[in-house]
Amino acid sequence: MILDAPAEMRKNDPSGMLRMARKLPEQIERGIAVARSAPALPDSSRFRQIVVAGLGGSAIAGDILKGLLEDSGSIPCLVVREYTPPAFIGPDSLVFCSSYSGNTEETLSLYEAGKQKNAGLVCLGSGGELQRRALADGVPFLKMDEGLPPRAAIGYSFFMIYGLLARTSLLPDNTGELEETVSLLRRKAEIYREEIPTSDNPAKSMASALHKKLIIVYGTRLVSSVAMRWKCQFNENSKVLAFANVFPELNHNEIEGWLGFRALGVPAEVVVLRDRSEHSRVSKRIGITLELIRGNGTGTREVWSEGESPLARIFSLIYLGDFASIYLALLYGQDPTPVNRIQELKRRLSEESSK
């Protein structure tokens, strides 16, 4: 089995996605260092909402922040995955424009809209057009290291924002949470590394369980962003279809869809990401829902977050999903790094724009 042949895995991972995953703890520390050395936000007391403008991995960073602020913050957070911002964006909005490449057209559009509406702007990425515009306009730009797939830069895209907000009154002091998160991920990196056999490696075991199956990931309130992260990592790394939803919302619609699922004859596995913060009624809903799904012959599994702080618990689940998605790619004989369909779409859009 390829997952227990480290040398073979490395041959099928020429760009080193596993290596990039292992370096997440160091990336987090670097992202925090950049945030702490950046200029402070001007008069943060004026802001009434935070907006994260981005797509893909940058948007996931916003989803994570939104969940944390709902849990312990003092102002709301909105994630915009679009060309046009909501009408209420204005001078009391703090807008983080995040694009790893710096060339994401939707994010550039949102940057211009935020500037026109006199919103507070902060940009982050590895360079590109976003950096050029930010520097020309005197807007703070937090620079990420180059050479990464955007989805492998979550240590920058999230923790740069988190670290900057921690220097204001908009986020509680988080030094202890950061230290716990980095320490936990370092321990997990040792457990998930390619030399650890499948029998002792939860990430490899998860990949094996999901091989040749349709993947459905469910989350609960605090970790709903993680369910979306898992879905996107399976899409981009493993090159497979995967879907995500959240309790209790899915009990008001999607649960009915399982009634006719057996007729499709598609093998599937449901993974429920769980956290101790979930409401007691949600816990009951999960139990009943999984019983109903198993009645269709579909496999189910539950994964609990680890750690004390909400931040550590969120990233404990993210890290497992990241590694599992890479190992699943290798099971399919796929190089996890290239995203050829995404690049083809961008190429064709560019051709259309030049006509």
What is 193-259 written as a DSSP string?
STTS-GGG-HHHHHHHHHTTSEEEEEE-TTTHHHHHHHHHHIIIII---EEEEETTGGGGTHHHHGG
- Do 265 and 148 lie in one domain? The reply is no
User: Looking at the domain assignment, is residue 188 inside a domain?
Assistant: yes
Q: Is the pLDDT of residue 173 over 80?
A: no
Calpha distance 236→213 (Å, rounded): 16
Percent of the chain beyond pLDDT 70?
99
Q: Kindly report the three-state secondary structure assignment for every residue of 302-321.
A: EEECCCCCHHHHHHHHHHHH
33-51: per-residue pLDDT in tens?
999 999 888 778 899 999 9
| Residue 231 lies in domain | 2-6+177-331
Instruction: Give the number of domains in the chain.
Output: 2
* pLDDT of amino acid 245: 98
Q: Catalytic residue among 195, 252, 351, 355, which?
A: 252
- Do 162 and 186 lie in one domain? The reply is no
User: Looking at the domain assignment, is residue 134 inside a domain?
Assistant: yes
Determine whether 252 is an active site residue: yes
Determine whether 249 is an active site residue: no
Q: Catalytic residue among 23, 115, 211, 346, which?
A: 346
**For the chain, give me the number of helices (H) and strands (E)?**
15, 9
Calpha distance 312→39 (Å, rounded): 27
69-91 average pLDDT score: 93
Q: What is the CATH number of the domain that holds 196?
A: 3.40.50.10490
* pLDDT of amino acid 279: 97
User: Looking at the domain assignment, is residue 347 inside a domain?
Assistant: no
- Do 154 and 243 lie in one domain? The reply is no
Q: Is the pLDDT of residue 296 over 90?
A: no
- Do 203 and 160 lie in one domain? The reply is no
Q: Is the pLDDT of residue 198 over 90?
A: yes
Question: 270 has which bridge partners?
Answer: 216, 300
User: Looking at the domain assignment, is residue 313 inside a domain?
Assistant: yes
Calpha distance 242→312 (Å, rounded): 25
- Do 297 and 166 lie in one domain? The reply is no
The residue out of 143, 173, 203 marking a domain boundary is 173
- Do 43 and 126 lie in one domain? The reply is yes
- Do 160 and 238 lie in one domain? The reply is no
Contact 247, 286 (CB under 8 A): yes
- Do 38 and 131 lie in one domain? The reply is yes
Contacts 24+ apart (CB under 8 A), 342-347: 342/236
* pLDDT of amino acid 353: 79
Q: Where are the beta strands (DSSP E) in 67-213?
A: 77-80, 93-98, 120-125, 141-143
Percent of the chain beyond pLDDT 90?
90
Nearest of 170, 159, 122 to residue 142 by alpha carbon:
122
Cβ neighbours, 10 Å, residue 30: 17
Residue 16: pLDDT band (50, 70, 90) is: very high
Cβ neighbours, 10 Å, residue 40: 10
Angle at 35 between CA 31 and CA 37, to 5 degrees: 120
User: Looking at the domain assignment, is residue 354 inside a domain?
Assistant: no
Which H or E run contains 273?
strand 268-274
* pLDDT of amino acid 195: 96
The residue out of 157, 173, 189 marking a domain boundary is 173
The residue out of 129, 158, 173 marking a domain boundary is 173
- Do 324 and 189 lie in one domain? The reply is yes
- Do 149 and 182 lie in one domain? The reply is no
* pLDDT of amino acid 41: 81
Q: Is the pLDDT of residue 174 over 90?
A: no
**CA-only gyration radius of the chain, Å:** 20
Q: Catalytic residue among 177, 180, 194, 236, which?
A: 236
202-217: per-residue pLDDT in tens?
999 999 999 999 999 9
Q: Is the pLDDT of residue 350 over 90?
A: no
* pLDDT of amino acid 86: 95
- Do 224 and 243 lie in one domain? The reply is yes
User: Looking at the domain assignment, is residue 353 inside a domain?
Assistant: no
User: Looking at the domain assignment, is residue 355 inside a domain?
Assistant: no
- Do 154 and 188 lie in one domain? The reply is no
Contact 218, 60 (CB under 8 A): no
User: Looking at the domain assignment, is residue 259 inside a domain?
Assistant: yes
230-253 average pLDDT score: 98
Which H or E run contains 29?
helix 24-37
* pLDDT of amino acid 169: 82
Which pTM value belongs to this model? 0.96
273-297 average pLDDT score: 96
Determine whether 236 is an active site residue: yes
Nearest of 326, 233, 277 to residue 19 by alpha carbon:
326
